[in-house]
Chain A
Amino acid sequence: MGQVNFAGIAVDFNEEGYMTDPAQWNEEIARTIASEEGIELTDKHFEVLNYLREKHAAGEQLTIRKVGNSGIVDIKGLYQLFPGGPLKKSSRIAGIPKPASCV
């Protein structure tokens, strides 16, 4: 899709609206993407986002179950934080690639 400017920084997105370089991410960008998804980020959201970013950086494949077992939030809570597509939406807001897992 190309680049979008955030306060003078060019951020790269793919055609599905996922950031292509997690290193470009910051909280301001997260808030902007979240508002596009109709979500207002709270501290709990950021805990989940940071967890996802850590696991992604460690090369782990992310699943809803993994997030549910992380101790941050249970699965029901995850659905409430990111309604209508918890793993996809949280990954997008966290600036990591679209999840490639089937569970």
Chain B
Amino acid sequence: MEEQVLEKPITKKVKEEKPLKKVCIICAKGSIEDVYAALVMTNGAVMEGIEARLFFTFFGLDAITKSQMNKLHTSTVGNPAMRMPGGLPFPSLLGMLPGVEAGVSTMMKKQMEKLDIPPVDEFMDMITAGGGEIYACKLAADMFGLEKEDLSEHVKDIITVGQFYEMCGGEGTQIIFT
């Protein structure tokens, strides 16, 4: 009888977790929740000592455009998770009325302030103070007719997708599209 020889001895796999070293986060939308998701994740990385790059593109550019960044809204139309205070569903028809979106957005910002979540520009201050870097997408900036001077001073540069990928190199790096 022939003895079966295994090519490799069965070794016990040692679970080894490699820590995250760098995150490259992309934000392509300009609503409060989309922008804050990206900001919280970027700032959270910086706080943990993880290198962080935040990249804004398309409507996400509103978050770094001087004239828009502190006036972001949440959409009150077509959002099935939107509720009235008290938990009743929020009718889309109501969301269409003038002023409702602004009111809801103000309420949301107040709620966040209570939790010590800063306004957009201050949040970016915190990120850059910790060494995080913020970039704008060249293609989208060209599309919307935005120049470097239209953007917040927290924006390090307007870069191409190629440059973005160049800065995403290295072991332990993750690209996150929010």
Please give the distance in Å from B126's CB to the nearest CB on chain A.
5
The count of chain B contact residues (Cβ–Cβ below 8 Å) is 16
Least Cβ–Cβ distance between B21 and chain A, in angstroms: 11
Contacts of B130 in A (CB 8 A): 64, 75-76, 79, 86
B→A interface (CB under 8 Å): 40, 43-44, 47-49, 115-118, 122, 125-126, 129-131
Closest to A87 in B: B47
- Select from chain B the residue with minimum beta-carbon distance to A75: B129
User: B131 — which chain A residues lie within 8 A by C-beta?
Assistant: 79
Pairwise interchain contact A65-B49, C-beta atoms closer than 8 A? no
Whether B129 and A65, one on each chain, are in contact in the complex, defined by CB atoms closer than 8 angstroms, is no
Cβ of A58 under 8 Å from chain B: no
- In the complex, A63 has a CB within 8 A of chain B: yes
Which A residues lie at the B interface, using CB under 8 A? 61, 63-66, 68, 74-76, 79, 83-88, 101-103
- Counting chain B CB atoms within 10 Å of each CB, the highest count among A74, A79, A103 belongs to A103
Measured in the bound complex, the distance between the Cα atoms of B126 and A102 in whole Å is: 13
A102-B48 in contact (CB<8A): no
Contact of B115 among A75, A88, A103 (CB under 8 A): A103
Residues of A within 8 A of B49 (CB): 83-85
Given the complex of chains A and B, what is the CA–CA distance between A4 and B157 in angstroms?
49
The answer to whether A75 and B125 have CB atoms under 8 Å apart is: yes
In the assembled complex, 20 residue pairs joining A and B whose CB atoms fall closer than 8 Å, in A order, are: A64-B47, A64-B126, A64-B130, A65-B116, A65-B118, A65-B126, A68-B129, A74-B129, A75-B130, A76-B129, A79-B130, A85-B47, A86-B47, A86-B130, A87-B47, A88-B48, A102-B40, A102-B44, A103-B40, A103-B43
